[in-house]
Structure formats: C-alpha cells, structure tokens
Amino acid sequence: MKHALLAALALSLALAASASGQSTPYPVTDLRSLYEDLLGKINSFPIYDNHAHPGYSDDSDVDAMAAPPDMSSVLRLREDNPEFVAASKALFSYPYDDFEPQHSRWLADRKKAAERAGGTAYFNGILDQLGIETCLANRAFMAPYLDPRRFHWVFFVDSFFFPFDNGDLAASNPDMGVYIPLQEKMLARYKKQMNVAGLPADLAGYEDFVRRTVRENQKSGGVAMKFEAAYFRTLYFSNPPRERARAIYERYRSAGRPSADEYREFQDYIFRVLVDEAGQLGLKVHFHTAVGIGDYFSLRQGNVLNLENVLRDPRYGNVTFVLLHGGWPYEREAALLTAVKNVYLDTSLQSEMLYPSQFKEVLKQLLTLYPDKMMFGSDAFPFNDALGAEESFWVAVGTSRMSLAAALAELVSERALSTERALELARLYLHDNAAKLYSSAPAGGKGASE
Ligand SMILES: [Zn+2]
C-alpha cells in the first residue's frame, strides 16, 4: 500500500515535470534526443542569409576592402581548420584529406572551370545544396554570375567619407595603408559611374552626388547600404550643423589635409545625409558591428554602443538599421539595442568564428530577448583559389543549424519553450524575419525586392 502510494506520487511528480510549469535550470527530458529531433526538422528549414560576400576568389569586387598583410587570424578561421576539408568533401566530393598544394589544386581547378563556364547555375547550386533560398551579397559591385533572383546587392557607402587628401589617414597604421587607397578607388568608381569629374564645387553639389549615387545603386538592385566605418573611425556619429560641414568642404575641396577632428565632423555630417537618403528610399542601413580583421581594429571605437544615439533617434524612425555580426563580442549590448522597433541584427561572422558549443550560448541568449529581430548571416568569403566562399557558407550554415537546435533543445528541456514555439523561433531566425524585413514596402521608394 505504502509502495503504491509512493509510486503514484512519483508518477504525478513526473507528469508535473513534463507538463507546463515554471521553467527549470536543468534539463527535465533527454537533451540529446531532443536536440537530434529538433536538428532533423531545422535542417529542412530554408535560410535567408542576411550577409555574405559571394564570389570567385579572383573577383576583387567581393568586398570594398581587403585583408591587411600578416594579420592575426582566430583559430577557426585559419586555413588549416580541418572543418574546411570536410566542407570541400561535402560540397564537391573532394578526394583528399588536406589542402596540401598538390591536392588543393584539384579544388582550385574545379572552381576555375565553373568561373570560365560562366552563368549563374554554379552559385545557385551552392545555395541549393545548403538550403539557402536568398542571400544578400555585400559587394563593391554585383557580378553577372550571381543570379539577381537569389542574390540581392548590399552596396558600400564609406567611400563618401573620404573626398579630401587622405595622406595622414593612410599613414596612421599599416592596416589603414591598405584600406584607405581602396576607399579612394571606390569613390573614384562612383564618380565615374555618375559622370562626376573632380569634386563638386560646393557641399550642395557633393551631397547631390552622394544622394544620386545611392538612388542609382537602388535602381541597380541595391536593398541596403553598408557602413564598414568601424574599420576607419569611431561608430559614434555626432550631429554637426550643415554650416560646419560646408566650411570644411570648401576649405579642403581642392587642397590641404583636414585635421582628424575636422575630417570626422565632415564624415558625421555626410553620414546623416546617407541615413536620411536611406530613410527616403526605404533602403536598409547595415553596419559592421563586431571586432574586425587586422591588428589595429579599435574595439573601443567599434563597440556597437557607439551607435546608440543614432539607433534611438526618433527622427530615424523611418530607417531600418541592421547590426551585422551582432556586435560580437558585445553581442548582448547589440541584442538589447534591437528593442528599438526599427533595429535588427544578424549573427554573421559569429557563425563561422565560434564553435557550435559557444555559438549555442549566444543564440540561447538572443532568442530569449527579441526573437523577431534576430537573423541568420554567414559572412561567407573566398579565402583563396581553393578554399572559397562555398566552404565558408557550409561552415556557417552547419554551425548555425546545430547551435540553434542545441540552444532550443535546452530551452525546451528547461520548460522555457514548447517544441512548437521553439520551431517557430527557428524559422524566424533562419528565414522569416529577414524575408519579411526585405519584402516590406519601403517608406519612400519602390519595392526593394520581390
Ligand atoms: Zn562581411
């Protein structure tokens, strides 16, 4: 009798544990099987990649900038990471177990052949293999081998920050010596595109050039403008009066080097012009918000919190801001900034740099804050002739699906979420948040994407 009572009590406790109730700090169900079950379903969900640099390795337009020489590389992004070999095997049935030069040539030849063949089938095929439906391509210019139905352009606008003599900036450290000439080259390309010779006579003319270029880029398929400003300067943008910017422009338009303060003030003003134009056109505004490559990247200046005055400015309620790379290593700060209605983030870069056990913790935090604001991103990028954006996509996709399943399995097992709710959040993060964001009718301009 006593045993029967105890058994009934144990049964009712077990039932209480598996039904609804307050969430617990430890799993109350088998975490591993829950993970496998969720991963099986999540593997079939389509992906919308909010940030990548798709392209062949000899295509310098995959980015507006380049890696500085001899920079430190974090462990997982080193070319000897064996996961990249696994990626090549999965995608191309690569027959070797390393990237020794005599082996990796097999891969490089294969990619060269695809490039020579031309057409959009190759990169569409990569997306298909990985379950990526749509991919935002953050590139200097788009390439004919990327299908505009699958790859949507995110263009760069930082070059508008550098119209004057940039000698002091380029000499400030070895990385800037690489970055600044590329920004000058980008500005020269925009000037050519818009038939602008030299610099316009006054600030009004320069602003007109900036706004017209942005409009033209949107007409060419651009869905967002990207600031990689954190590589060059602080992400804190003051709000200088136009009169001040006009004086600086007129003083340095044809000669002379502005002081660091003068240049920054001028850039702060041009930044406001760009954001205003984005709001009018319904273009999204992307920011690099994470530690960057190179040994001179300023963590303090690149901290996402520097953007707070802009993101929380009610005047920009019509502008959608997207914090690329989710602010890492300040990912909590970035996530909390998405409380603002028009602020979103993606987890690109983190999905390649962090291992699943680490990225799982990030996603577990993000998805319990504002899950309708968090988006998948790969930051896929060609490393060299053999190891391409393709392998980079593969690592980011696999890491994200596994980390997502693991984070959600924990939340379900701790009774924070039901399985149904967990799968709903997975869909939002992998695809639906971005699909909704980029298909929403812009405030001013034409529809940005289908
Ligand atoms: Zn990127």
DSSP per-residue letters across 220-280: TTEEEEEE-GGGTS-S------HHHHHHHHHHHSSS----HHHHHHHHHHHHHHHHHHHHH
Q: Which residues pair with 284 in a beta bridge?
A: 224
Instruction: Considering only CA atoms, give the Rg of the chain.
Output: 24
pLDDT digits (tens, 9 = 90+) for 264-315: 999 999 999 999 999 999 999 999 999 999 999 999 999 999 999 999 999 9
- Look up residue 230 and give its amino acid: A
The confidence score (pLDDT) of residue 244 equals: 98
What's the CA-to-centroid distance between 220 and ligand 1, angstroms?
A: 21
DSSP letter for each residue of 394-415 = HHHHHHHHHHHHHHHHHHHHTT
pTM for the full predicted model: 0.93
pLDDT digits (tens, 9 = 90+) for 153-205: 999 999 999 999 999 999 999 999 999 999 999 999 999 999 999 999 999 99
Tokens of 444: 């001013």
What's the CA-to-centroid distance between 348 and ligand 1, angstroms?
A: 8
What's the CA-to-centroid distance between 85 and ligand 1, angstroms?
A: 22
What's the CA-to-centroid distance between 137 and ligand 1, angstroms?
A: 9
What's the CA-to-centroid distance between 234 and ligand 1, angstroms?
A: 18
What's the CA-to-centroid distance between 349 and ligand 1, angstroms?
A: 7
pLDDT digits (tens, 9 = 90+) for 60-86: 999 988 888 889 999 999 999 999 999
What's the CA-to-centroid distance between 316 and ligand 1, angstroms?
A: 24
Judged by DSSP in three states, 194 sits in coil
Kind plus residue range of the DSSP H or E element containing 344: strand 343-346
Decide if pLDDT at 450 tops 50: no
What's the CA-to-centroid distance between 183 and ligand 1, angstroms?
A: 16
Judged by DSSP in three states, 8 sits in helix
What's the CA-to-centroid distance between 34 and ligand 1, angstroms?
A: 33
CA distance 301 to 234: 4
Query: pLDDT-based confidence at 59, cuts 50/70/90?
Result: very high
pLDDT digits (tens, 9 = 90+) for 333-376: 999 999 999 999 999 999 999 999 999 999 999 999 999 999 99
Q: Which residues pair with 52 in a beta bridge?
A: 137
Write down the mean pLDDT value for the chain.
Answer: 94
Half-sphere exposure of 171 (CA within 13 A, CB side): 6
- Look up residue 362 and give its amino acid: V
What's the CA-to-centroid distance between 51 and ligand 1, angstroms?
A: 6
Kindly give the pairing relationship between strand 222-227 and strand 284-288.
parallel
Q: Which of 8-17, 208-217, 258-267 has the weakest average pLDDT?
A: 8-17
Burial of 33 (0-12, 13-18, 19+ CB in 10 A): exposed
Q: What percent of the chain has pLDDT over 90?
A: 91
Tokens of 42: 């999540």
Judged by DSSP in three states, 287 sits in strand
What's the CA-to-centroid distance between 287 and ligand 1, angstroms?
A: 10
Task: Look at phi and psi of residue 223 and say left if phi exceeds 0, alpha if psi is from -120 to 50, else beta.
Answer: alpha
CA distance 279 to 226: 14
The confidence score (pLDDT) of residue 20 equals: 66
Q: How many CB atoms lie within 10 A of CB 397?
A: 25
Decide if pLDDT at 9 tops 60: no
pLDDT digits (tens, 9 = 90+) for 231-259: 999 999 999 999 999 999 999 999 999 99
CA distance 413 to 415: 5
What letter does residue 97 receive in the DSSP assignment? S
What's the CA-to-centroid distance between 53 and ligand 1, angstroms?
A: 6
The confidence score (pLDDT) of residue 2 equals: 52
What's the CA-to-centroid distance between 24 and ligand 1, angstroms?
A: 38
What's the CA-to-centroid distance between 210 and ligand 1, angstroms?
A: 23
- b vs e for 165-182, b when ≥16 Cβ sit within 10 Å of the residue's Cβ? ebeebbeeeebbebbbeb
